[in-house]
Structure 1
Amino acid sequence: MPELPDVEGFRRLVAANATGRRIDSVVVADSGVLEPGLDADRFARAVRGRRPGPALRHGKWLLLPLGDSSSAHGVPCLLVHFGMTGGFVWCTGHADGHRHDRILLGFESGSELRYRDMRKLTGVRMAEADSEVDELLNALGPDAAEVSAAEFAARLRGTGSGIKAALLDQSVVAGLGNLCVDEALWRARTHPRRKSRELTATELGELHRAMGSVLRSSVREGRVPERRGWLNGIRNERSRRCPRCSAVLCRAATAGRTTVWCPSCQPE
């Protein structure tokens, strides 16, 4: 599933290739990725001829303004969520199509920005008023890469759920997914089922630092890396041992997601 580091990579891809370039053609190969009520013809009419402004990211959402600076968010604005399997691909020349390419935006250079998604779980919205963008952003917590330690602690203490469930809740902190959360909890030596409000100030501070470190390294690579010394580097191995203490790792469903943790480093 694309998490904050992946979406930041997509934002940089768009920024480097599409910003300020005119969209000459729009092909909606599968309207199933468009929000309910937004048909392919209406989408194409709104997008064709536009020049994207600087792409923005908040949590796992990418915002692509297509209007001018007279509105707060450059409406019309595309609001893109990549669900479980989505992503942007930049194709130059006459690159072969892919069966999971759902939307193709053709630019004046002949290149294309393609929205590619196998499972089509979320997709693309179009905001035609600033209030529609605000409605989305107001439903999200602060961006995980930017939230201060104080706000991070306050928001987690305000939940009654386990710490993993709280970190996955996009209304608490936006951008974290299963891999980032497990990695940060392992680094902070925090059990995924501990109650958020029971963590001490010291523990919350350590978790905030661990989260920041995971995100900074992952953003550089555009994904959560399967790196030696990382929990994510061994989480899918048949014989999983903690990179820190060599204890056999636990694997179970927590907060509805497959969770990996070290019973020695992360006692309950």
Structure 2
Amino acid sequence: MPELPDVEGFRRVLAAHTGEPIERVTVRDAGVLRGVGARRLDAALRGRRFGAPRRHGKRLLAPVGGPVLMLHFGMTGSLTWHPADEPRHRHDRVVWRLPGGELRYRDMRKLQGVRLLKDEAQAEDVLGALGPDASEVSRGELAALLAGRRARLKSVLLDQSAIAGLGNLLADEICWRARVRPLRAARELDDAEGAALHRAMRRVLRDSIEAGRVPPRGTWLTGVRDEPGAACPRCGTALARGRASGRTTVWCPHCQP
């Protein structure tokens, strides 16, 4: 599932084509369009140039000379660059043709999709429903977000209105590195645990953004969590599993008491 590091990677793909004119937009499956039809999307974008894209949480935004294109990747979305003559994948839903090739929005499950916002003001209104970007949250902001929250820690981390950008893998990895059990009530964390959580979040996001994904390294929880009989990479204890906000949650009973 695309999380903040993946979307940052998609932003880099789009940024490489800043200033290039859009020759046409081909909508191969209108099921990913949100609030705009295929013809209007093509008419609104054809001949315009992509401005510098930006990311907030899991949302990717690109100004196109007034309107703003917003991409949300859901569970299975991606944005990739291809030569124009490369055969398209059956899950390529929207294609932007540029002079040197094509940007392709691919999504198997179509849970989110593509929006066309009229201007930056509308984009800010949409983003206003989200919390601060996880890569920019300060230690004090994180402490304030957790204070008084009855919900489980992982549920708060996954709540996009609280912190934007974290998904299932990142949340578990951050809690494991901070040695905090993800099923604890968020308000139970003391100052030292909150500081450890913030340090872990910064470190995990930094390394994941560099890799363009949550890396499945053997020294990370992410790298072993799906193995049969998975054990903690740090202490060797068998990993525990539960549910938080409907998501499979993995932790080490020894390292995260």
User: Could you tell me the TM-score, scaled by structure 1's length?
Assistant: 0.94
- Which of 80, 85, 95 is 1:94 aligned to? 85
Where do 1:1-268 residues align within 5 Å? 1-16=1-16, 18-35=17-34, 37-67=35-65, 75-109=66-100, 111-267=101-257
Q: How far off its partner does 1:203 sit?
A: 0.6
Q: How far off its partner does 1:103 sit?
A: 0.4
Give the number of aligned pairs.
257
CA contact (8 A) 1:59 1:143 kept: yes
Q: How far off its partner does 1:132 sit?
A: 1.7
SS of the residue aligned with 1:23? coil
SS of the residue aligned with 1:115? strand
What stretches of structure 2 of length at least 5 have no aligned partner?
none
1:28 corresponds to which letter in structure 2?
A: V
Q: Distance in 2 between matches of 1:4 and 1:213?
A: 14
Q: Deviations over 1:2-27 (max 9, x none)?
A: 000000000001111x2100000110
What stretches of structure 1 of length at least 5 have no aligned partner?
68-74
Q: How far off its partner does 1:124 sit?
A: 0.7
Q: Distance in 2 between matches of 1:159 and 1:42?
A: 43
Q: Deviations over 1:145-177 (max 9, x none)?
A: 111111111112143211000000011110000
Q: How far off its partner does 1:131 sit?
A: 3.0
1:95 corresponds to which letter in structure 2?
A: E
1:172 corresponds to which letter in structure 2?
A: A
Percent identity of equivalent pairs: 55
Mean CA deviation greater in 133-142 or 3-12:
133-142
| Cα-Cα RMSD | 0.9
Q: Distance in 2 between matches of 1:90 and 1:102?
A: 14
Q: Distance in 1 between matches of 2:189 and 2:116?
A: 40
SS of the residue aligned with 1:131? helix
Runs of at least 4 residues off by over 2 Å:
none
Q: Deviations over 1:109-160 (max 9, x none)?
A: 3x00000000000001111033321211111111001111111111121432
1:182 corresponds to which letter in structure 2?
A: D
Distance of aligned partners of 1:92 and 1:158 in 2 relative to their CA distance in 1, 3 Å threshold: farther
Q: Distance in 2 between matches of 1:186 and 1:29?
A: 41
SS of the residue aligned with 1:38? coil
Q: Distance in 2 between matches of 1:99 and 1:249?
A: 37
Distance of aligned partners of 1:159 and 1:135 in 2 relative to their CA distance in 1, 3 Å threshold: farther
CA contact (8 A) 1:156 1:172 kept: no
